[in-house]
């Protein structure tokens, strides 16, 4: 849920206008460009207090991959 909320905050669209499910692809399904994807990764880093290496960040192009990354890396605080 926190990942979905971070995504919605970044996109700045009303929640009812966007169906964000784990299988949503940032570019194909949401029409985002590569800069938007970078900003989403940065929002995930901020939300979950993570530092995602560029090599890993380049692979995160969908909600499911973002969820997988967040769950496989403990939050730092």
What number of residues does the chain have? Answer: 77
CA angle 28, 40, 21 (to 5 degrees): 55
Owner of token pair 């919605």: 8
Kind and range of the H or E element at 72? helix 63-72
Q: Which of 29, 33, 54, 58 is catalytic?
A: 33
Does the annotation count 33 as an active-site position? yes
Q: Count Cβ atoms below 10 Å from residue 60 Cβ, excluding itself.
A: 21
Active-site residue set: 33
């Amino acid at each position: 849920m926190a990942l979905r909320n971070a995504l919605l905050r970044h996109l700045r669209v009303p929640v009812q206008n966007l169906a964000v499910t784990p299988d949503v692809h940032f570019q194909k399904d949401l029409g985002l460009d590569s800069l938007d994807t970078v900003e989403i990764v940065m929002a995930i880093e901020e939300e979950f207090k993570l530092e995602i290496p560029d090599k890993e960040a380049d692979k995160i192009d969908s909600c499911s991959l973002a969820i997988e990354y967040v769950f496989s890396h403990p939050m730092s605080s």
